[in-house]
Amino acid sequence: MKSTIKQLAKFSFLAGVVFTSFSCSDNDNDDPTPVAESDKVFALGVGVTTSTATTNYVVQTSNLMSGTISLTGNGLLQEGYRDYAFGGGNFYSIGGLGITDVNTISLNSSNQLTTKTGLTFEQANNDFIDPTGAGTTMVGVSMPASPTAGLNANFYTVDIASNSITNRANVPMNNIHPSNRDWLFHTGMQVRSNQLFQTFYPVNYTTYATANTDTCYVAIYSYPGFGLQKVIKDTRTGPAGAFNNRSGIFKTENGDLYTVSNSSYSNGYSQSTKPAGILRIAAGSTEFDQNYFFNTDTAPNGGKIAHAIYIGNNKLFAAITTVAPTLADRWSDKNLRLAIVDLSAKTITPVANAPQFTGNGGRSFAALLDEGKVYTAISTNGVVNIYQTDVATATATKGAVIEGSFLGGIARLK
């Protein structure tokens, strides 16, 4: 009897030990590598797909050209799916679980990434840009994905210094593109003095069929009031941009606007009825320039421009198809190569030493112009590498390995 009680006492003690021994503290945190005063600092939004889910991280590096950019014990986890934007020294990570959250990421005094939280958007964000590059105001747009999600396009400005919304306006979707068949998806926007220009493409919001591929549309709004002024159309090419992409419209230093249309099966169009091409809205004008059309299908080294960024001097850094997409390629975003497109000379120069690749479907054509070089990422054989393109020579150099599945965004913070 006595011994049993003793045994019992021993056991309960042991049980207690078992329970409490799991209460040890977490092993925090090896200090991150210091950054020298002369170093540049880049912020990268990296997505990782594992066997269970895709997670996103923002990681910093001073070296894009060698070694491995690793996420193991490194980088800031970003909840949910993310899009990235840059303005005023901040790398914005937009997305989240359930609500649209904005993580405003910048460098602290020791040049390490630090996050300011608190800002949220009413609806899922489609685009968030610093329209002038001045770093004072960001402009954002949220377009509901279907009439069940909302009937208004929602524009807003965010004051960078106070990290808060200063102005917002609703524009009925049906005023932008009156149709009982089509819905419209945002593909890009630019602000030129007191006007905002937005490209979009009409699409059936449930089937994603595109019945309307004969016209390029640009909606023009007042800025910063976001009042709809008019929608201009041109039938020389199809709609500018494509599903989930922000490569529909670009602004040059002198105020010319260029719209880039591909109506490519590879980027989700269910039919393709017009050649791929580029139109111009000349500086000061709010109409398409009838004297300018750049047919990229028939140009030497041409094809359909799937994704692009503006890199100055009337040039685009682009991902362009190498073979004409067929119906079987629908949504594939494949057979792409890097190219430099000269908008005024109407030439396309392929980038040498860069492999042919497959895009990420539009949203994340992460590319950064820095000191005459463009940095982007290409995945070959399941390995993601940085590629540095020298704009002057149109030649690429393979850089660092990104330990992740895709690059969602890139910016230079220092």
Partner 1 sequence: MRLRSSLNFLQLTSPLYKGLFAFFFFFLTDSLAGYAQNTGTVSGKVTDTGSRAIEFANVFIKGTEAAVQTNADGFFSLAAQEGDYDLVISFVGYSSKTSRIRITAGRTTNLGTIALSGSLNVDEVLVTGKTQNTAIKEEGFNVTVLDTKKLYSTSADLNQALNRTTGIRIREEGGVGSNFSFSLNGFSGKQVKFFLDGIPMDNFGSSLTLNNLPVTMAERVEVYKGVLPIHLGADALGGAVNIVTRANPNFLDVSYGVGSFNTHKASVNGAFTNLKSGLTFRANAFYNYSDNNYKVDVQPINFTTGQREAMKEVERFHDAYKSGTLQLEGGVTGKKYADLFLVGLIASGNDKEIQTGVIMDQVFGARTTRSSSVIPTVKYRKANLFVQGLDLSLYSAYNMTQNQFVDTTRLQYNWNQETRETSTAEFNRTQLKNRDKEGLVTANLSYALFPSQSLSFNYVLSDFGRKSSDVEDPQNVTFRYPQALNKQVMGLAWQLNKNRFNATAFSKLYLLNASSFEQISDGTGEPNFQPSQTKTNNIGYGTALAGFILPQLQVKASYEHTYRLPEAIELLGDGLFVRRNSALKPEKSDNVNVGAAYSFKPHADHQFALEANYIYRNSDDYIRLDQRQAQPVDRQYINMGNVVTNGVEGDFRYSWKNRLQMGLNLTYQSILDKEEFLTSTNLTGTTVYKNLGYGYRIPNMPYLFGNAEVGYSFTDLGAKDNVLTLNYNLNYVEEYFFTWEHLGRNNQDMIPRQVAHNVMVNYALQNGKYGLSLECRNLTDNKLFDNFKLQKPGRSFFLRARYFFNN
What residues numbered 28-57 form the site for partner 1, per CB under 8 A?
A: 28-29, 32, 48-55, 57
Q: End-to-end alpha-carbon separation of the chain, Å?
A: 75
Binding mask 164-203 for partner 1 (x = CB under 8 A): xx----x---------------------------------
**Is there a contact between 388 and 375 (Cβ–Cβ < 8 Å)?**
yes
Taking the least distance from each CB to partner 1, the nearer of 15 and 134 is 15
Write down the least CB distance from residue 126 to partner 1, Å: 14
Size of the site for partner 1 (CB under 8 A): 90
Tokens describing residue 359? 């895009």
Restricting to residues 88-147, name those near partner 1 by CB under 8 A: 96-99, 101, 117-122, 144, 146-147
Task: Tell me: does residue 161 bind partner 1 (CB under 8 A).
Answer: no
Q: 124-146 burial, b for 16+ CB within 10 Å, e for fewer? A: bbbbbbbbeeeeebbbbbbbbee
CA dist., res. 122 & res. 403, Å (int): 33
Taking the least distance from each CB to partner 1, the nearer of 48 and 231 is 48
Burial category of 97 from C-beta neighbours within 10 Å (exposed 0-12, middle 13-18, buried 19 and up): exposed
Residue from 17, 34, 36, 73 touching partner 1 (CB under 8 A): that is 73
Coil/strand/helix, residue 183: strand
Taking the least distance from each CB to partner 1, the nearer of 134 and 151 is 151
The region of 193-201, 217-225, 255-263, 321-329 touching partner 1 under the rule CB under 8 A is 321-329
Is the bond preceding residue 131 a cis peptide, omega within 30 degrees? Answer: no
The region of 192-200, 218-226, 330-338, 366-374 touching partner 1 under the rule CB under 8 A is 330-338
Write down the least CB distance from residue 120 to partner 1, Å: 5
Restricting to residues 340-369, name those near partner 1 by CB under 8 A: 358, 360-364
Taking the least distance from each CB to partner 1, the nearer of 19 and 37 is 19
CA dist., res. 45 & res. 76, Å (int): 9
Taking the least distance from each CB to partner 1, the nearer of 57 and 288 is 57
Q: 283-316 burial, b for 16+ CB within 10 Å, e for fewer? A: eeeeebbeebbbebbebeebbbbbbbbbbeebbb
